[in-house]
Chains A and B, each alone.
Chain A
């Protein structure tokens, strides 16, 4: 309870402790705290930025996908259109070809018929003369009745 020289020494040690605290404690710890604060702030900012970038990327990807979808559907509809056109073309070609073949066949048939008719026409006189010769039992002069025979053949 007595005030004595202890007071003086206490002040001396107080000063020493404060100086130590100033020199070796306060600055390094506060520097570390502030540095960490800055790091955390940077980290949070980076996280925010990352989130934003992710959002933007997602949007961009969505847009690309949508564009691709639109393009694909366009391609598909075009292909369908082209396909049906091809089918229509083929159909039309087939019909015309069929018609052509049919016409050609008909023409050939007509030609053949005419040919057969011509050859028949050539032979009809002879057949008729032979038939008449048999019936009459005598020679028939084909030349004498050629007019008649020609008339007959032309009727064929």
Chain B
């Protein structure tokens, strides 16, 4: 960040980790937070405009591109774009077929959406950290996080969506009683009715922890990986304010980290998708 020599490294990092937040101000009016402290004070009703914008743009890009191909899809010889789309669809389809044993037409499109959307959001990480925020500063927008998957709101939004689907399908497939039994009759089982009642709260506690851990770990895994990756890009870009040697070293490091990150962003998208499929399978399977 060569333009502002007055900011410290700490301020630079803090600046990069603050969302463009729109919400209620202490004086009662609504507006965009001018500092990270102000953004934090806005509370629950604030909205991260940058996360919303980029995630929706990228999600819409995915839907637009795929549905455009799907609309004029040909059963004959496919073009390059259709070949690419079919490759992605078949890849997801294979994963769903190998992990998901029940019949539900919703799961495969869900997995496809998750994989493509997360990949695109993660991909924003490969864009140099200062490029878009700096350009937007020229237009008077001071905060910008361009990687939506480094915002826990985004990752939790998806993992909770998957979580609710999981509960919905569990109840739909096994019934309320079946789902309740699943939560209370394991892992300690007993024939004796008194023991059964005794085990009930213990089982419920253990199962509830396991159930709630799913969406938390699901989203934090993605968030943690992307946040850490973004942080390293920010730290590397700090080197660009140094001398020629530091700039050269920073450039080399950034290149190496970006190449490595190509693997990370794909892998994280893939892991999120596979876990979604596995959770859906668990929701559909009887014990």
Contacts and interface: CB of A to CB of B under 8 A. Distances in A.
Interface bin, chain A? 20 to 34
B63 A11 contact: no
Nearest to B43: A4
Tell me what chain B mostly uses at the interface: helix, strand, loop, or mixed.
helix
B122 interface: no
A31 B73 CA distance: 9
A6 interface: yes
Contacts of B156: 3, 7, 10
A5 B154 contact: no
Give chain A's interface secondary structure class. helix
A7 B157 CA distance: 5
B51 interface: yes
Interface in B81-116: 85-86, 89-90, 93, 105-106, 108-110, 112-113
28 contacts: A2-B19, A2-B42, A2-B48, A4-B45, A4-B153, A5-B45, A5-B47, A6-B51, A6-B157, A13-B56, A13-B59, A14-B117, A17-B113, A20-B67, A24-B70, A25-B70, A25-B112, A26-B89, A26-B108, A26-B112, A28-B71, A32-B74, A32-B75, A33-B90, A36-B75, A36-B76, A36-B78, A39-B75
Given A6-B154, A21-B62, A29-B66, 16 more contacts: A1-B40, A1-B152, A2-B42, A5-B45, A5-B47, A6-B46, A7-B157, A9-B47, A10-B156, A11-B157, A13-B157, A14-B161, A25-B70, A29-B86, A36-B75, A39-B75
